[in-house]
Amino acid sequence: MCLCLCCVVFIFLILIFYMKMMMGSSFPEEVLEHVFSFIERDRDRNAISTVCQSWYEIERWSRRRVFVGNCYAVSPVILIKRFPDVRCLELKGKPHFADFNLVPEGWGAYVDPWIEAASKAYPGLEEIRLKRMVISDDTLKLISKSFKNFKVLVLSSCEGFSTKGLAAIAADCRNLRELDLRESEVEDLNQSSGHWLSRFPDNYTSLVSLNIACLNSEVSFTALECLVGRCPNLRTLRLNRAVPFDRLAILLRRAPQLVELGTGEASDLRPDVFSPPDVFSNLLGAFSGCKELKSLSGFWDVAPGYLPVVYPICPRLTSLNLSYAATIQSSDLIKLASQCQNLQKLWVLDYIEDLGLEELAASCKDLRELRVFPSEPFGAEPNVLLTEQGLVSVSEGCPKLHSVLYFCRQMSNEALRTIARNRPNMTRFRLCIIEPRTPDYLTLEPLDVGFGAIVEHCKDLRRLSLSGLLTDRVFKYIGTYGKKLEMLSVAFAGDSDLGLHHVLSGCENLRKLEIRDCPFGDKALLANAAKLETMRSLWMSSCSVSFGACKLLGQKMPMLNVEVIDERGPPDSRPESCPVEKLYIYRTVSGPRFDMPGFVWTKDKDSALGLS
Amino acid sequence: MALELKSSDNKIFEVEELVAVQSETIKSLVEDGCADNVIPLPNVDSKTLELVLDWCKNHVDMKLDEEKLKEYEDKFIEVDQAVLYDLLLAANYLNIKDLLNRACQKVADMLKGKTPEQIRETLNIVNDFSPEEEEEIRKENLWAFEE
């Protein structure tokens, strides 16, 4: 009798458990798919995909947006097998130090195989975003022919193509909304069939964003004017140096709805000659008519006398990029910046000087991002009055400032400590003291303690670039306090392997580490080999890592590609203890790559070539 | 013009046609001329049906007042998990677009920022991956497809 009761209770409990279990997985597939359609972040979609098998299947069939942070960490085959219906693809290629010409020409990051595969697998592809990749004209043509609903093409710091490829995009992408060539290198092929901009058909009206600021070539103004005039949804227009400033008024009157504008060149307008006077008033009128304008850039060779044409829109500006405005000096910069009370982002040359930054700190209380670039980075002596004081002022006056890139020639631990205490909300801090190994100019000591204060106080710091005289001590601070740090850039710093060891063993969230000209060798690297599988990539150039250690690392960690980049010839033609020129290590699920040039060696290369 | 709807637990609800046809499912029945008798809804219990009909009624009443409607919707969707799931399934079955969207959005928000294990716990889902399978997917996700 008692046993029977126990059985009944037992069965009852199982039923309850079963019912509870069924609650979550009893959603019909289409309901789950609908729920997933509200989840866009990669991290969240990745979490969903590992919940259970049915969720994995539903998620992979419904993921429309894919981000690949390292094109060699995965392959087109794996991508397509996993996600059969992708609409938006984003790929990144070369490591960041490629921006400083540290990655030799021909290293890789070719997007052609990806687009080739996508052209067959993803006919519905709408958006392609590439960063630091090589793309050919043939591939651009393939894009224009393969994807009927193609809308967005963003090529950031890319190369390998010409205006011929752009012509194909213009001619055949009927639904194109966005063409953004930011900082790419584009070859100008003088086309007999006319300028590439005129290849946009007459009935094409869907352009929303056009960024051709990086183009060195001539632009057909007529074609541009027609294009701008017939696209009512155009909100972003970033022109290149070939578009004269005085003709800007024509474009602005055609597109007063613009939100973001990059001006062209103004060298025609001589600073001492204000006639014809209607040029000035024409521009002023045109700018005043742009009630939606929030972002301004360009200003190549603009005569300071013409700056007041933008004054009417300054109070509405949230973003201002004057990093190419080499003709605008301190007093004019101050006048301009002080009128932009709603400025959130400012990129400027060091002509702004400490005084200008002080004014900025007083006027622009909503500033969130500041980048100060050097006007004469290769000059031996300072040409402007820009010191650490400018940055200190801004850190004091702008409570929302969280992202900084600052080039200067002197720094002190005291200033860094002050900045750290002022701005514990800092998330990105990149300091570039122009001369390597520059000490604290007040005490002549290393800047360890200053940077230590930054990592200690700025608990949400995600990105950090170091410069100046630094010992292993700074790395100890970084390893201890930099718990949220994701990206670290180091140059001419440290004394020994201990420095590298502190970082690799301490920074739990480190994803990208790039190092140049530091005395880091084999020990720290081999001791922290496992760490490398938790990071996207590690770059080391002009350090002390031997070829032998690279071979060992490659053997020990089969899931890593350990690339030795050495233009002196095959690494095994030198002793194993010889340090390699450059080293690029990254985790990958697609194994070795087979498009390596002669100066790149990995452990698999010999076997790939059939050598012993 | 009134319609009669019967919940799974046999409760009858008398509803104005204008309110009821917010459900595409019921709308089709009306258009096909099948709504003369009581319409059985075996997949929706009375508790849930009452809530759903409240949603539909308010969407008719407040049609022109966007702000008031939004306030209502925000308050309406603040229900506990079990009720939310019932609403979600009912909205799907009855094909009420805006309620379905709202409920899906709410469930989606519950899932965001969570680890797979936390999601399983929240929804009582059993992990049917082998440890090797799960590790392989996790690796591919993290190494290939994440920021």
Which is more confidently placed, A468 or A267? A468
Contacts B82 to A, Cβ<8 Å: 23
> Distance between alpha carbon A433 and the CA centroid of its chain, in Å?
21
| Contact status, residue A388 vs residue A417, Cβ threshold 8 Å | no
Asked whether A407 and A377 are in contact (CB, 8 A), the reply is yes
Is the Cβ of B40 closer than 8 Å to some Cβ of chain A?
Answer: no
Six token digits for residue A6: 């126990």
CA-nearest of A333, A342, A274, A349 to A313 is: A342
Which residue of chain A has the CA closest to B92? A31
Rounded Cα distance between A357 and A353, Å, is 6
d(CA A306, CA A290): 17
Question: pLDDT tens, A574-598?
Answer: 999 999 999 999 999 999 998 999 9
Query: Could you tell me the sign of the dihedral formed by the alpha carbons of B108, B112, B116, B120, in that order?
Result: negative
Residue A163 to residue A156: CA distance in whole angstroms: 16
Does residue A598 sit in helix, strand or coil? coil
**The token pair that represents A513 in the structure block:** 């580490």
Q: A203 by DSSP, 3-state: which?
A: coil
Instruction: State whether A50 and B134 contact (CB < 8 Å).
Output: yes
Q: At B110, which helix (H) or strand (E)? A: helix B97-111
- Contact between B123 and A41 using a beta-carbon 8 Å cutoff: no
In A, minimum Cα distance to B135 occurs at: A50
Q: For A421-437, write each residue's pLDDT tens digit.
A: 999 999 999 999 999 99
Read off the pLDDT of each residue in B69-96 and give the average, rounded to a whole number. 93
- A73·B144 Cβ contact <8 A: yes
Which residues are within 8 A (CB) of A192 and not within 5 positions of it... i.e. 6 or more apart? none
Asked if A24 and B123 come within 8 Å (Cβ–Cβ), the reply is: yes
Q: Under an 8 A CB cutoff, do A69 and B116 touch?
A: no
Which residue, B84, B42, B6, is CA-closest to B15? Answer: B6
SS3 for A219-249, per residue? CCHHHHHHHHHHCCCCCEEECCCCCEHHHHH
pLDDT tier for residue B36 given thresholds of 50, 70 and 90: confident
**Distance, C-alpha A351 to centroid of its chain:** 25
Per-residue pLDDT, averaged over A344-354, amounts to 96
Q: What single-letter amino acid sits at A318?
A: T
Contact B56, B47 (CB under 8 A): no
Q: Which residue has the higher pLDDT, A569 or A68?
A: A68
Can you tell me which residue has the tokens 């219990």?
Answer: B45
Q: 3-state class of A562 per DSSP?
A: strand
- List, for residues A456-479, the tens digit of each pLDDT value: 999 999 999 999 999 999 999 999
Which residue from A27, A38, A56 is facing B137, i.e. has the nearest CB?
Answer: A56
Per-residue confidence band for A192, with pLDDT thresholds at 50, 70 and 90: low
What is the tens place of the pLDDT at every residue in A367-419?
999 999 999 999 888 999 999 999 999 999 999 999 999 999 999 999 999 99
Q: Is the Cβ pair B115, A47 closer than 8 Å?
A: yes
Contact predicate B132/A58, CB 8 Å = no
Map tokens 């012509």 to a residue.
A167
- Name which of A346, A351, A291, A352 is nearest A321 in CA terms: A346
Q: Is the pLDDT of residue A610 over 60?
A: no
Closest to A47 in 3D by CA, of B66, B43, B110, B88: B110
Of B104, B111, B144, the CB nearest to A78: B144
At A21, the pLDDT band (50, 70, 90 cuts) reads very low
| Cβ–Cβ under 8 Å, residues A533 and B139 | no
SS3 of A599, please?
coil
Kindly state whether B109 is in contact with chain A, defined as any CB-CB distance less than 8 angstroms.
Answer: yes
Eight-class DSSP state of A572: G
Chain A positions touching B88 (Cβ under 8 A) are: 27, 31
Distance of CA A238 to the CA centre of its chain: 18
In sequence order, the 6+-apart residues with CB closer than 8 A to the CB of A223 are: A195, A197, A198, A200
Integer Rg of chain B from CA:
19
Kindly provide the ipTM of the predicted complex, given to two decimals. Answer: 0.94
Distance of CA A410 to the CA centre of its chain: 27
**B77 in contact with A, Cβ within 8 Å:** no
pLDDT at B147: 83
**CA angle at residue A142 from A140 to A148, to 5 degrees?**
105
**DSSP state letters, B35-96:** -SS-EE-TTS-HHHHHHHHHHHHHHHHTTT-HHHHHHHHHHHT---HHHHHHHHHHHHHHT-
Residue among A50, A82, A588 whose CB faces B143 most closely: A588
Residue range A190-204: mean pLDDT, rounded: 82
- How far is CA A548 from each of CA A495, A515, A583, B28, rounded to the nearest angstrom? 22, 19, 12, 74
CB contact under 8 A, A50 and B142: no
What are the tens digits of pLDDT across the range A75-112?
999 999 999 999 999 999 999 999 999 999 999 999 99
A355 near B CB under 8 A: no
Q: Is A124 on the interface with B (CB under 8 A)?
A: no
Tell me: cis bond preceding A276? Omega within 30 of 0 counts: yes
Render pLDDT for A480-500 as a digit per residue (tens, 0 to 9). Answer: 999 999 999 999 999 999 999
pLDDT beyond 70 at A611 = no
Look at residue A572 in the predicted model and tell me its pLDDT. Answer: 85
pLDDT attached to residue B138: 96
The phi and psi torsions of A329 (rounded to 5 degrees) equal -100, -175
